[in-house]
Copies of this chain bind each other. A is one copy, B any other.
Amino acid sequence: MPEIDFVLVEPLYEGNIGFAARVIKNFGFDRLVLINPPAIGDEAIARASHARDVLESARHCTLEEVIAKSSLLVATTGEFGKSICTSLRMPFYTPRELGAMIRDVEGRVSILFGRENYGLSNDEIRQCDIVCTIPASTDYPIVNISHAVGILCYELAALPRGTYRIASRVELDAFYDHIDRFLDTIDHPDFKRDNTMVMMRRIFSRTLLTPREVSTLHGLLRRTEWHLSGEDKTQNK
């Protein structure tokens, strides 16, 4: 994974800077760069919340300094397909494609986010290596800068979701056998049995049961069987 700098180019509102710091930290990044920002005051600090460290360690640079230190300079733009024929904006990459592209490289990647009112200038986009566009609705494609930073962070972080163990074949087969026996208990007709068992398997399989869930379902079947046998005895009296 490269070092990723999130560069806000002449942001207008300190609140957005605070929010950007927060999402940067939310996704495990910590490099915020500011080009000609407004004064950072209480509102930025409040919105940064527990990411005050990211806000306070933000580097103040010029675009030239950012360019000089970056192996890859990415312009984010809000309007894709605006001009499909110019190499200024085409081809562009989605945040996901950008993530796939840079995940396994080393170096400094700087991602530029433009001003709240008119984004990045054509000249700034021209100085970037590649263009990244968040696919958005043509009705209203202009995503707030901190939300754009958030979506890029989310895609680039690609944090592991963690894994959990699903029930083993043996556990599942025992469970389906239990269902099959249970269907006997409730006199489920033989001629429907195969189709019903396939449906049971389809339903439970797509839920990717955990061992604990299988165990609880067994327990419910057993408890039901126990009650049924009690009722049978009552009826047989």
Contact = CB atoms under 8 A, between A and B. Distances in A.
A213 to B, nearest CB: 7
Interface stretch (A143-151, A169-177, A224-232): A143-151
A143 B90 CA distance: 32
A58 B33 CA distance: 36
A50 B140 CA distance: 7
Interface stretch (A23-31, A104-112, A118-126, A187-195): A23-31
A212 B86 CA distance: 9
Nearest to A90: B164
Contacts of A164: 84, 90-91
Contact of A91 (B47, B150, B210): B210
B161 A135 contact: yes
A224 B82 CA distance: 33
A112 B123 CA distance: 42
Interface residues of A, number: 48
Contact of A28 (B87, B134, B139): B139
Contact of A19 (B147, B159, B213): B147
B159 A135 contact: yes
A141 interface: yes
B140 A19 contact: no
Contacts of A139: 25, 28
Contacts of A135: 157-161
A113 interface: no
Contacts of A212: 85, 87
A147 B147 CA distance: 6
A234 interface: no
Contact of A213 (B27, B87, B141, B142): B87
A40 interface: no
A162 B87 CA distance: 16
Contacts of A1: none
A81 interface: yes
A97 B85 CA distance: 35
Contact of A159 (B47, B136, B208): B136
Interface of A: 19, 22-23, 25-28, 47, 49-51, 80-81, 84-85, 87, 90-92, 94, 97, 133-137, 139-144, 146-147, 150-151, 154, 157-162, 164, 208, 210, 212-213
